[in-house]
Every structure is written in C-alpha cells, then in structure tokens.
Amino acid sequence: MDIIKEDYDEVLTTREAIKYLKISRPTYFKCIRLGKINATKVGNGWRVLRSELNRFLRSGHEESKV
C-alpha cells in the first residue's frame, strides 16, 4: 500500500517542533500547558503532529500572544 504524502502526518519531537515554530522551549511548553497545542507525552518526551502545529500557526497564535 502506497502512502500518499497528504495523508501522512509526521510526528515531531519537542526539538523539531520548537525549530519548526521558531519559538523558545518554555513558550512551547506553555502553549501545551494552556491547551493551545495538543501534544502527547511519550516516555520522557513529548510528541506532536505537524498538522497540529500548522493548525496552531493558522489560528494566529504568536509568541507575544501566549
């Protein structure tokens, strides 16, 4: 079965997510804590879907609004 790129939702680590969003680590975790970003705790780290980060960006949230 072939995976169509549009159907594939990449899972990102914390490091990858903060680099993608261009925000600080504390700001990223504040967004998670406030429910602005939906992430999942996996072991000692957090994972988030790229589509969730895109949703967050489209919603107009900026570091200054957090």
Evaluate whether residue 3 is within a structural domain: no
The CATH number of residue 29's host domain is 1.10.1660.10
pTM for this model (two decimals): 0.77
Structural domain containing residue 28: 9-65
Per-residue pLDDT of the chain (66 residues; tens, 9 = 90+): 555 555 568 999 999 999 999 999 999 999 999 999 999 999 999 999 999 999 999 998 554 455
Evaluate whether residue 49 is within a structural domain: yes
DSSP collapsed to 3 states, 7-60: HCCCEEEHHHHHHHHCCCHHHHHHHHHCCCCCCEEECCEEEEEHHHHHHHHHCC
Evaluate whether residue 53 is within a structural domain: yes
Domains contained in the chain, number: 1
Evaluate whether residue 45 is within a structural domain: yes
